Structure 1
Amino acid sequence: MKVFWQLEAPQRRSLLILFAAGLFFWSSMGSLLPTLPAYVSDVGGTPQQVGIVMGSFAIGLLVFRPWLGRMVDQRSRKLVLLIGAVVAAIAPLCYLFVKSIPLLIAIRIFHGISIAAWTTAYNALVVDISPISYRGELIGYMSLVTPIGIAIGPAVGGLLQGAFGYQPLFLFAGGLGMLAFLGGNQIHEPKIEHKPDTSLQSSTQQNSRKFWEILVSPPLLVPSLVLLLVGLAFGALSTFVPLFIRETKVDFNAGWFYTSAAISSFSSRLFIGRASDRYGRGLFITASICFYGVAMLLLSYANSPNSFLLAGILEGAGSGTLLPMMIALISDRSSPQERGRVFAVCISGFDLGIAIAGGVLGSVVQYFGYRGIFTISTGLILLALIIFMAISNKNLANSWLFAWGKAPDIYALNYAELEKHAQK
C-alpha cells in the first residue's frame, strides 16, 4: 500500500474517491446477483427465460461499450463514469413496476449500459493515474472494489429480500447507484494528450484504428478470446447457481456463494498486482484460468454446502486474478489515446460470453440439467487455457514461456520499462 503515498496528493485523492464510488457501484450490482434470478422465476419465468433475462444484461454491454469506449477517448473518462452511475441508480427502480418477461429483458439491456460505461471509464482512469512501473499493483488495489462490493451486496441484498421483499431490495440498489454518482462527480480527471506523436507512424496508425482492427490485432485477439470463454462460465455462475442450489435442496444461501467468492477474490488481488509488475502478467493469468476450471468442475459435482462454498472460493481466486491481470495486460499493449476503445473491444469478449451463456446454456438445462451446464463450462475454461498458452505471444515458444512467467510480454508497448522494473 506504500505506493499510494508515492503519488501526488491530487492523484491520491482521486483514487480514494474513485475507490469509494466503485464500492457503492459494485454493491448495487452485487445486491441483485442472488435475488434477481429468483425474482424472474417468482413472476413466472421458466429456467430458459431466467437465463435470457439475466443474459440480456450483456446485450447492453455489447451494444454500447464500443460507443462508450470512443467517448472515453474523445470526450471524457469522468463523463462516461457518471453515465454508468446514473443507469445503475435508475434501472433497479424500474424493476419495481415490471413483472412481464419482455419488459424485464428491456430493463436488463438498459441496466447493462451501467457496467459498460463504469468499467471502461474506471479502468482508464486508474491506468491514467498509475505510474507504469507500479501499474499492476495499483490496478490490483483499485480492483478490490469489485470483490468488496460483490461481498457486501449479495449478503445485504439477500437479507433484505428475505426479510422485507423485493421493493426494499430494489430501492437499496438504486440508492447505492446514486451514491456512486455523487462520488464520481468529485473525481479530478487527469488530462490526456490526444494528439498522436507524428514522429511515430505506428502510433498514428494505432490512434486511428477501428473496432475490428483492434479486435483482430495479434496483441489483443487472445485476451478477447480468453475473456469470451471465461465470460461464458461466469454467465453460467451468475445465472444458474442460485437455481441449482434451490434444485439440490441443499440448506445453503446462494448469497454466501458469491460472498465467499468475493472474499477469495479480495485476498488474491492484494498480492497479485505487485507480483505481476515483477514476474509478468502471464503466470498469474495461467493460474487464474486453472482456478476457474477447477471451480467449474467442482460445481458439476456439488451436492453439499461445503462443496458450493469451496467452488465459490476457487472461482473468486480465479476471477480476482484474471480480470486485473487482463486489464494490466491490455494496458501494457495499448496507448493512452486509444485505451478506452481497447478496453471496450477486449472486455466485450467477456460481455458476449455472458450474453450467450444465459440463453444458450439455459436451453441445455432440460437435457443435461444444471450439472451439465457446469461440465460444459469446465470444457470452455480448458479451451481458454490452451489458447492462452499456445498463442498469447508472438509464437508458440514465446507464448509458452510467457504463460509460465519465464519470458516478458513482447507485445507490451512499454516492454523495456517493464523489463527494467522486473529486474529490480
Structure 2
Amino acid sequence: MKGALSWPFLRLYILVLFYFSANAILNVLIPLQGKEWGASNTAIGLVMGAYLFTTMFFRPWAGRIIQKHGPIKVLRIILVLNGIALAIYAVSGLGGYVLARILQGVSTAFFSMALQIGIIDALPEKDRSQGISLYSLFSYIPGILGPLAAVAIWQEGMDSFGWVMIGIAVVTGIVGYSAKMESGEAEEQSGNTERGHVLASFGQLVKNPFLFKCSVLMLASSIVFGAFTTFIPLYALQLDGGSAGVFLMMQAATVVLARFTLRKHVPSDGKWHPVFVMGTFLLLALSAQSVSFSSTGGAAYFYAAAIGIGVAQALIYPTLTTYLTFVLPKADRNVLLGLFIATADLGVSMGGVIMGPIADLTSYSKMYMVCAGLGVMMVGFSYWGRNENV
C-alpha cells in the first residue's frame, strides 16, 4: 500500500489508537464517578473541560515548537508527560483528576500537533484529506469499546482503574518511542521559526476570513460534541432502555466506519463546498434534537442520534482542516492550524463548562435542545463566504 495507508503511516495511526484509549475510558468514567461522589453537573463540566481548555491554550505554541525542533523529538518528551498524567489518576480523587486533566491537556496539544503536522508535511496534497481522516479515525476507534470498559470498571468499584491507566501509559510509550516521521519541509523549519510571535498570530482568527469561518464552525460543532461527551453518561441514567456505553460505542463505531468509507469524498481541492458543509451541520442539529426528544420519545431516538452525531463528527473536522491546509499562508500554516484546532478544543471544553449550568438550571433534554439550535445557526453560517475559493 502507498500514500496515507503505507506502513510508516499505519504505525503512526496505531500510536494514535493507544494514546486516545485512556480518554475513551475517562470520558465516561469521570462523569459517573463524579456524580457518585456528589459533584454537580457544573463541577463535572469544569473537570472535563480542564483537559481541552489546557490543550487549546498550548496548541499555538506546540505548532511553533514542533516547527522548530521537529515532531519526533517533541513526541518522545510528551509521551513521558502523558504517562505521569495517567499515573495520577491511579492514586487520586476528583481534585487530583483536575491536575491530571491539565497535564493531559498539555501533552495532547503537542501530541496531536506533532502527528498531524508530520502527516501533512509527509503526504502529497492529493492524499492530505485521507491522512487527516485516518488520523481522526484511529483516534475514535478506542471509543468503540472504551465506554463499555469504563462502565464495567465503575460497576466493579474502580479496583482495576489505576492498573488500566498505567498499562495504557506503558504501551503508548513503547509504541511511541519506535515511531518515525519524515518531514518534507525541514528547510522551512530553520528559516521561519522566528517569524513573528505566537501571540501576534491570534489576530489572524479574525483577520483571515478563511480561518475565521472555519474556526467559528469548528467552535460551534465542538460545543455540541462536548455536551455529548460530558453528559450522555448521566442523561442515559434517566432514560428507560438508555445505556451510555452502547450510545458512545455506536457513536464511535459510526465515526470510524464513516471516516474510512467516506475519506475519499472529503473535499481535498482547496475549494469551499457550502452544500456539503451545510448538510453536515444540519445532520448535527437533527441529532442533538433527537437526543433531546428521547426523554419523551424513547430510546430509539437516543440511539438514532448516536449514528447521526457520529457521521457529523466524521466529516466536519477533516473537511475544515483539509480546506485550511490549502488556503492558509504556507509560512505560518503550522501555527495557524494550531489556532484552528485550539477552537475545537475550546468548543469541547465549553460544551461541558457552559452546558453544565444549563443542565443544572433546566434539564438534560432542554440543554440538548439548545445544542440543536446552535447547529441550525451554523447551517446558515456555512453558506457565508461560499465564493471564497482558491
| TM-score, length of structure 1 as denominator length | 0.82
Distance 1:6 1:64 in 2: 30
Deviation sequence 1:172-193 (CA, Å, 0-9, x none): 2342233223222222222323
Distance 1:32 1:197 in 2: 39
Question: Partner amino acid for 2:343?
Answer: G
State whether residues 257 and 309 of structure 1, in contact with CA within 8 Å, keep that contact through their aligned partners in structure 2.
yes
State whether residues 219 and 347 of structure 2, in contact with CA within 8 Å, keep that contact through their aligned partners in structure 1.
yes
State whether residues 217 and 382 of structure 2, in contact with CA within 8 Å, keep that contact through their aligned partners in structure 1.
yes
Q: 2:134 — aligned with what?
A: 141
Question: Partner amino acid for 1:128?
Answer: D
**Compared CA separation, residues 336 and 256, structure 1 to 2 (3 A):** farther
Aligned with 1:339: secondary structure? helix
Distance 1:288 1:82 in 2: 36
Of stretches 207-216 and 131-140 in structure 1, the one that deviates more from structure 2 is 207-216
Superposed counterparts of 1:93-104, under 5 Å: 93-101=87-95, 103-104=96-97
Deviation (angstroms), 1:61: 0.9
State whether residues 201 and 335 of structure 2, in contact with CA within 8 Å, keep that contact through their aligned partners in structure 1.
yes
Distance 2:323 2:171 in 1: 31
Q: 1:40 — aligned with what?
A: 34
Q: 1:120 — aligned with what?
A: 113
**Compared CA separation, residues 302 and 258, structure 1 to 2 (3 A):** same
Distance 1:177 1:46 in 2: 30
Which of the residues 156, 160, 166 maps onto 2:158?
166
Deviation (angstroms), 1:38: 0.8
State whether residues 74 and 110 of structure 2, in contact with CA within 8 Å, keep that contact through their aligned partners in structure 1.
yes
Distance 1:197 1:49 in 2: 44
2:162 equivalent to 1:187: no
Superposed counterparts of 1:265-276, under 5 Å: 265-276=255-266
Question: Partner amino acid for 1:135?
Answer: R
Deviation (angstroms), 1:237: 0.8
Question: Partner amino acid for 2:119?
Answer: V
Deviation (angstroms), 1:333: 2.3
Question: Partner amino acid for 1:178?
Answer: V
Q: 1:59 — aligned with what?
A: 53
Which of the residues 2, 14, 18 maps onto 1:5?
2
Deviation sequence 1:206-250 (CA, Å, 0-9, x none): 9647322432211211111111111211111111111111133x2
**Compared CA separation, residues 302 and 69, structure 1 to 2 (3 A):** same
Q: 1:300 — aligned with what?
A: 292
Aligned with 1:44: secondary structure? coil
State whether residues 67 and 189 of structure 2, in contact with CA within 8 Å, keep that contact through their aligned partners in structure 1.
no
**Compared CA separation, residues 79 and 384, structure 1 to 2 (3 A):** farther
Q: 1:108 — aligned with what?
A: 101
Question: Partner amino acid for 1:360?
Answer: I
Aligned with 1:143: secondary structure? helix
Question: Partner amino acid for 2:257?
Answer: S
Distance 2:59 2:193 in 1: 22
Distance 1:316 1:344 in 2: 24
Superposed counterparts of 1:276-315, under 5 Å: 276-277=266-267, 282=273, 283-303=275-295, 304-315=298-309
Question: Partner amino acid for 2:164?
Answer: F
Deviation sequence 1:63-111 (CA, Å, 0-9, x none): 222221211211121233334433433323212332244x432332222
Q: 1:251 — aligned with what?
A: 241
**Structure 2 unaligned residues grouped into runs of 5+:** none
**Structure 1 unaligned residues grouped into runs of 5+:** 199-203, 400-408, 411-424
State whether residues 151 and 262 of structure 1, in contact with CA within 8 Å, keep that contact through their aligned partners in structure 2.
yes
Distance 1:292 1:207 in 2: 39
Distance 1:336 1:35 in 2: 41
Deviation (angstroms), 1:284: 3.9
Deviation (angstroms), 1:337: 4.5
**Compared CA separation, residues 82 and 375, structure 1 to 2 (3 A):** farther
Deviation (angstroms), 1:278: 6.5
Of stretches 302-311 and 16-25 in structure 1, the one that deviates more from structure 2 is 302-311
Deviation sequence 1:114-140 (CA, Å, 0-9, x none): 322222112111111211122222322
Which of the residues 146, 149, 168 maps onto 1:176?
168
Q: 2:147 — aligned with what?
A: 154
Distance 1:161 1:87 in 2: 26
2:339 equivalent to 1:345: yes
**Compared CA separation, residues 188 and 388, structure 1 to 2 (3 A):** same
Distance 2:268 2:58 in 1: 35
Distance 2:278 2:170 in 1: 37
State whether residues 194 and 337 of structure 1, in contact with CA within 8 Å, keep that contact through their aligned partners in structure 2.
no
Aligned with 1:165: secondary structure? coil
Deviation (angstroms), 1:260: 0.4
State whether residues 223 and 326 of structure 1, in contact with CA within 8 Å, keep that contact through their aligned partners in structure 2.
yes
Of stretches 352-361 and 68-77 in structure 1, the one that deviates more from structure 2 is 352-361
**Compared CA separation, residues 316 and 347, structure 1 to 2 (3 A):** same
Question: Partner amino acid for 1:5?
Answer: K
Which of the residues 199, 202, 223 maps onto 1:232?
223
Aligned with 1:16: secondary structure? helix
State whether residues 88 and 178 of structure 1, in contact with CA within 8 Å, keep that contact through their aligned partners in structure 2.
no
Deviation sequence 1:31-82 (CA, Å, 0-9, x none): 1122111111222212221111111222211222222121121112123333
Note the aligned Cα RMSD (angstroms).
2.6
| TM-score, length of structure 2 as denominator length | 0.89
Deviation sequence 1:351-391 (CA, Å, 0-9, x none): 11222222222111232211111111111112222222113
Q: 1:222 — aligned with what?
A: 213
Deviation (angstroms), 1:12: 2.9
Instruction: Report how many residues are paired.
Output: 382
Question: Partner amino acid for 2:279?
Answer: A
Of stretches 282-291 and 123-132 in structure 1, the one that deviates more from structure 2 is 282-291
Of stretches 295-304 and 176-185 in structure 1, the one that deviates more from structure 2 is 176-185
Distance 2:78 2:310 in 1: 24
Q: 2:63 — aligned with what?
A: 69
State whether residues 3 and 123 of structure 2, in contact with CA within 8 Å, keep that contact through their aligned partners in structure 1.
no
State whether residues 63 and 334 of structure 2, in contact with CA within 8 Å, keep that contact through their aligned partners in structure 1.
yes
